[in-house]
Structure 1
Amino acid sequence: MRERSGAPRAVVPRAAAVPGAAAALVLALLLLVIVRLPWAGDLGMHAATVERLRHRLADPGNPLVDADTPSPYYSPWTLLLGCLARLSGLSVFVVLRVGALAGLALLVTGVWRYVRTLSAHRAAPPLALLGLVLLWGTVPLNWSGFLGLNSLALTVSYPSVCALGLAFHLWAWLARALRGPAGRGTWPGLGALWAVILLCHQFSGVVASLGALAAVLAARAGPAVWARLGAGLATGLVALWWWPYYDFFALLGAGGSLEPVHRPLYRDLPGRYWLVLLGVAALVPRWRRDHRDVLVLFFALGALVFAAGGLSGHYSWGRALPAALLPAQLAAALEPVRAGRRAVRAGWACALSGALAVGTWAQAGTVGYVVGRGALPEPVAARYRTPWTGYHWITPWVRYGDVVMARTLPARQIPAYGAYTVAPGYPDFFLPDEERRREAVRRYFAAGTPEAVRRDIVREYGVRWVVDRGAGPRRDGLRAVARGPGGQVLYRVR
């Protein structure tokens, strides 16, 4: 049900000014972060994906290793960025900055449109933006698809931000289609948009699907609407089946290799999310007003999937947690501006202001990605996490397509500069010899491995370079050519 503010008309602009200014400051911070583009997590994977598409748009091959395999990272979003890189000649990191700007714009406009379907109050959209990035906990969680301020600063150039932005647009479009007459192309368009979200970021696609299901259940749709939904769903399934860069439906069997990676999502839940409890409390009056409130249903679906993943050991289902967090955060942001008694609204406003202040302090270290750690006061600097330094120092020697022998952490960054590694830095469901490659890397760097075995590994995978820590060449057939941060050395294979 769309809520109307009970505040007097003259008070509305003043009431919206403070959250509007605060949201503008948060967006300004994120824009400055994009200029710096701090490196952490999966940035190297996405940079490598764009780089492969720049060179071979139709058949890019594996983005990390020299193998002709598909990859779920070749999405409509990275394809668009790859075309931009190919046509403009811009460096991959400049293209990622452009993508970050576009993804952030999609997210902000999507939140704005969706919140407008829930409340007409002018303060609702900026309050929603603040709630989504600040109502988390005092232990920051950095993960793609999770919109905490610190996490968003590090993942703003990822496809997950674009996918979540499109998800908010999907929910807003669907809510309006469910409320009144829709054009003939509306439902197929919704299905196509749903497919694009799933292809861009599969986990955010699950969140988008749960939000769409909540909207349909809340609307008490009749048979005619369900028939139109079926047509839209069929359109989306056809688009998923047609996508040429990878088999989307094959990913349904990839859960086993992802469970260990996602197990940390079920740890330290109170520290990471306790501020969201305000949103859970805000869902209670919404449920009392309407047992089929869209945010209540959305939260219930997300919580159910997350709990089922933890109980069954399918920890990758934990990536559906934003489906519970987002509606709770939105409920907390909207409760102070709903229609009702002024004293009740004032109480919710005080609670929300306090929670947002705590959330701001908990994620204050994000400022360090703009000004650097040295410019931060010590209490804030303690909350700053130093980003990765990257491997630009190897580029004068390592050329596009060269194969580099490296351990896991360097292997997550080196492909961003055009090189391949022997083993991928991330799990790769479509790479049939992934474990064999990982074993080759382990054997190469093991202290007791005979030199003849190392030479066989070098020949098998066409290794031209080795990156390792050390003061000098420790093995036959290697010559040090460059030294990087942390005592790392680039060796040329003779």
Structure 2
Amino acid sequence: MTPGGRSPSRWVWGLRAVAGAVAALLLAVVVRLPWVGDLGIHAATIERLRHDPLHPGDPLVDADVPSPYYSPWTVLLGCVAKATGVGAFGVLRLAAVVGLVLLLSGIWHFVRTLTECRATPPLAVLCVLFLWGPVPFEWSGFLGLNSLALTVSYPSTCALGLSFHLWAWLRKALRAGSGWLVFLGLGALWAVVLLTHQFTGVVASLGALAMLLGARPWPSRAVLLRLAAGLALGLVVLAVWPYYPFFELFGAGADLEQIHRALYRDLPGRFGLALLGVAALAVRFRRDRRDPLVLFFALGAVVFVAGGLSGHYSWGRVLPAALIPAQVAAAVEGAGVVAGVVCGDRLRRVFAGVLAVALAFGAWTQAGTLGYVLPKDALPSPLAAKYEPPWPGYRWITPWVRYGDVVMAKTFPARQIPAYGAYTVAPGYPDFFLPDEVAREDAVRRYFAPGTPRAERVEVLRRYGVRWVVAYPGDGGLRADDPALRKVGTGPRGLGLYRVVG
């Protein structure tokens, strides 16, 4: 019996029930698929692949160039869309369900290679979702509940789920001295993760390195040769992937630094609760200097700090490589008390109590996630105050704008409009393989700039074959009564849709 008088099995089933309730909440979120962040680019990617699976072109602008968004996962989704006729957002819902299953089963799988305690897997799920900080934080590849609710359909979720399975299978293969086929399969899986979401692929790589360095007993020479063969196969897969040249992405970091600078701000507010996991890692380090979770955390922390010190802020995307092992370590160390395995250890009982409080606090800070399932007026007032409405999207333009039409719009609309099949003049995101990206961005700036002559604005519309303009009244550009435009529709907050007629 545990100190509270309950049997260990009741605590385990209680944890499983809570984890199951959280999973059910995320499945309910999938039904509504709240739009915020990068959902537009992923829907646009599926649209391009649905229309031409072999030569989709740029997902955002009308240009025949490769794109890193065409990964094994999105190509599969595009083929599903083409074969079934299901729309992009319907396919994204399917992607969300599969990604969620991969993620939750991956956490379960990986944790079971670290401990046999039955309480640890459901507790690890809760730690990964709730041990963040008092300030809600949303970014793809970061697994806080609110962040996951908004990114569950993204390739990063699928890639993270596969990463957990990769680490688990690698630990088992190293321990068992598996054969060539197993390690070749692991190499191919590693390449798929890297191709699917490059930043998560770096996290997966650091985790795999930590699993190797922390393997006990140390792998034999024969096993290391099989591992090297798997690595070589993975590199070959990366090199021959036909949709984009993977290795050219290493020169694209300069375009991403300013976007990712935000990852280095307000670290205590966003990630402070994960310090409890750092304390658990310290305990594990005292027991084993080659503990794989400790090594994983150290590798991730070193790269993250190096990025901040050197100004390579895109390296901040590796932060999950420090957060995930800390969160899992907190679950492993706390689960023993919950299961009654180490109830005589007073320090661990204190740790488990603090962990319970931290999880409850973390759940409260992310309770606004309920707003993606329930209407605001159905929430209690404290939760309603946390409610953030999703973006409305641009479906209202589809009665007029057809697939392949080019739309002139500023950056924010340009991130959503391609989801419905149209192109924009300039991409709403950095586009590494688009040679005239700067010229396109300059054209959009000049079109909307206050002092640009009318003739120059009209010339920009003609040069890029623009058929529609989406703009608020105060955005600039051609006047609403200009003879080159004809207003055909009005969207949220007075946003206008104009047909280019001259």
The answer to whether TM tops 0.5 is yes
> Of the candidates 333, 336, 361, which is equivalent to residue 334 of structure 2?
336
Distance in 1, matches of 2:316 and 2:493, equals: 34
Aligned equivalent of 1:492: 499
Aligned equivalent of 1:56: 52
Distance in 1, matches of 2:347 and 2:13, equals: 21
Aligned equivalent of 1:32: 28
Aligned equivalent of 1:251: 249
Residues 328-361 of structure 1: CA deviation (Å, up to 9, x unaligned): 0011111122454343432222111100000011
* Deviation of 1:14 (Å): 1.2
Aligned equivalent of 1:410: 413
Is residue 14 of structure 1 aligned with residue 5 of structure 2? no
Distance in 2, matches of 1:107 and 1:433, equals: 38
Aligned equivalent of 1:309: 307
Q: How does 1:202-241 map to 2 (within 5 A)?
A: 202-219=198-215, 220-241=218-239
Distance in 2, matches of 1:355 and 1:314, equals: 32
Residues 22-77 of structure 1: CA deviation (Å, up to 9, x unaligned): 10111010000000000011000000000000000000000000000000000000
* Deviation of 1:221 (Å): 3.1
SS at match of 1:190: helix
Aligned equivalent of 1:460: 463
Q: How does 1:308-457 map to 2 (within 5 A)?
A: 308-338=306-336, 340=342, 341-457=344-460
Amino acid corresponding to residue 264 of structure 2 in structure 1: Y
* Deviation of 1:453 (Å): 0.7
* Deviation of 1:439 (Å): 0.5
Amino acid corresponding to residue 273 of structure 2 in structure 1: L
Distance in 1, matches of 2:500 and 2:334, equals: 65
> Of the candidates 145, 151, 156, which is equivalent to residue 155 of structure 1?
151
* Deviation of 1:451 (Å): 1.3
What TM-score do the two structures reach when normalised by structure 1?
0.97
Distance in 1, matches of 2:481 and 2:328, equals: 57
Distance in 1, matches of 2:242 and 2:399, equals: 35
- Range with bigger deviation, 97-106 or 473-482: 473-482
Distance in 2, matches of 1:183 and 1:222, equals: 12
Amino acid corresponding to residue 315 of structure 1 in structure 2: Y
SS at match of 2:326: helix
Residues 295-337 of structure 1: CA deviation (Å, up to 9, x unaligned): 1110000000000000000000000000000000011111122
* Deviation of 1:224 (Å): 2.6
Equivalent pair of 1:131/1:332 in contact (CA under 8 Å)? yes
Distance in 2, matches of 1:20 and 1:393, equals: 42
* Deviation of 1:6 (Å): 11
Equivalent pair of 2:57/2:66 in contact (CA under 8 Å)? yes
Aligned equivalent of 2:83: 87
* Deviation of 1:246 (Å): 0.1
Q: Calculate percent identity across the aligned residue pairs.
A: 65
Equivalent pair of 1:337/1:345 in contact (CA under 8 Å)? no
Distance in 1, matches of 2:471 and 2:330, equals: 49
Equivalent pair of 1:52/1:60 in contact (CA under 8 Å)? yes
Equivalent pair of 1:12/1:121 in contact (CA under 8 Å)? no
Equivalent pair of 2:405/2:467 in contact (CA under 8 Å)? yes
Distance in 1, matches of 2:391 and 2:335, equals: 42
Aligned equivalent of 2:282: 284
Aligned equivalent of 2:163: 167
Equivalent pair of 2:177/2:223 in contact (CA under 8 Å)? no
Distance in 1, matches of 2:7 and 2:118, equals: 11
Distance in 1, matches of 2:150 and 2:278, equals: 27
Residues 365-398 of structure 1: CA deviation (Å, up to 9, x unaligned): 0000000223222322222222110000000000
After superposition, the Cα gap between the structure-2 partners of 1:71 and 1:6, relative to the gap in structure 1 and judged at 3 Å, is farther
Residues 103-141 of structure 1: CA deviation (Å, up to 9, x unaligned): 000001111110000111111110000000000001111
Equivalent pair of 2:180/2:226 in contact (CA under 8 Å)? no
Distance in 2, matches of 1:149 and 1:384, equals: 14
Aligned equivalent of 2:263: 265
Amino acid corresponding to residue 482 of structure 1 in structure 2: G
Equivalent pair of 1:135/1:356 in contact (CA under 8 Å)? yes
Distance in 1, matches of 2:396 and 2:256, equals: 32
Amino acid corresponding to residue 227 of structure 1 in structure 2: L
SS at match of 1:479: strand
Aligned equivalent of 1:103: 99
Coordinate RMSD, CA, aligned: 1.5
SS at match of 1:444: helix
Distance in 1, matches of 2:446 and 2:362, equals: 46
SS at match of 2:254: helix
- Range with bigger deviation, 466-475 or 364-373: 466-475
Distance in 2, matches of 1:166 and 1:71, equals: 22
SS at match of 2:80: helix
Distance in 1, matches of 2:480 and 2:107, equals: 54
SS at match of 2:487: strand
SS at match of 1:66: coil
SS at match of 1:371: coil
Aligned pair count reads 488
Residues 222-261 of structure 1: CA deviation (Å, up to 9, x unaligned): 4333222111100000000010000000000000000001
* Deviation of 1:488 (Å): 0.1
SS at match of 1:46: helix
Equivalent pair of 2:178/2:223 in contact (CA under 8 Å)? no
Amino acid corresponding to residue 157 of structure 1 in structure 2: S
Q: Which residues of structure 2 form unaligned runs of 5+? A: none
* Deviation of 1:446 (Å): 1.2
SS at match of 1:185: helix
Residues 154-212 of structure 1: CA deviation (Å, up to 9, x unaligned): 00000000000000000000000011131330110000000000000000000000000
Amino acid corresponding to residue 379 of structure 1 in structure 2: P
- Range with bigger deviation, 442-451 or 138-147: 442-451
Amino acid corresponding to residue 227 of structure 2 in structure 1: L
